[in-house]
Structure 1
């Protein structure tokens, strides 16, 4: 994923797009915290369009990885970014000013249970979202693929 930023299409949701613009313009200094919650920018490749799609997500860190939740506000539909990374798990991530490539995978079993608790501690509303939907809300681990120091 070496495409230029100009080729990235931001979320069509107004408040999310505004958050992304603030984040990018300030190198994360003015967008990293959203309502007191840490956020990152996630760029996936559209599973049908092939275009790069960017959104902002609440995250937690875990053992050098980043964890995000595909809650979609408790909707019965998975968020598009989650469907995209299932089709192509290679993603781009920005955390504050740091940009890197990562590989996404869905947490399962005991790891999922543990990380769900981590994420609900960061954003307790995830529990209410879980009660709104019959789908299993995905917990996604983003594993950075940083270049080794020379």
Structure 2
């Protein structure tokens, strides 16, 4: 490979800039009462959802806006912390308390979180790579593997299922 064609390691914006953008996004979401700031994934793109977790230490509700893609009925996010070292707090909270709520552009949904493993993780990582061809290079900036988080809808049992469960 010639020197002129060598791949460069991607450069991230400074951390203060990433945090500023996150703050502005959250501020717009709050200011407009949730009418702005969330969107569904577009073709070959990601969407934005608001994830509400239970704090692993405080037990209080914590909200964060996260990028996601859809995988059938599941929502899939990357626990990347802006490509900085360390796990994002929302992922640490989900590992301690996997039940959460997501607010989507079309409404809210209770979910249960888990890390994708094996072939599923590889398939979902490849899906994200279609959206961002620099994904592997960004992930290499982190000292540990980036978790691929699957958010599965939790369906409330209907009255018939509740009665059956009580009778068992």
Relative to the length of structure 1, the TM-score reads: 0.79
1:106–1:138 CA contact under 8 A, matched in 2: yes
Q: Structure 1 residues 134 and 47, CA, compared in 2 at 3 Å: closer, same or farther?
A: same
Greater RCO structure (CA 8 Å; 6+ sep): 1
Q: Distance in 1 between the 2:132 and 2:66 partners? A: 11
1:22–1:31 CA contact under 8 A, matched in 2: no
2:119 aligns with: 110
Which 5+ residue runs of structure 1 have no aligned equivalent? Answer: 1-10
Q: Is 1:93 paired with 2:102?
A: yes
- Per-residue deviation, 1:97: 2.8
2:93 aligns with: 84
Relative to the length of structure 2, the TM-score reads: 0.71
Looking at secondary structure, tell me which structure has more strand per residue. Answer: 1
Higher Cα Rg, which structure? 2
Alignment RMSD (CA, Å)? 2.5
Please identify runs of 4+ aligned residues in structure 1 that moved more than 4 A. none
2:46–2:131 CA contact under 8 A, matched in 1: yes
2:58 aligns with: 49
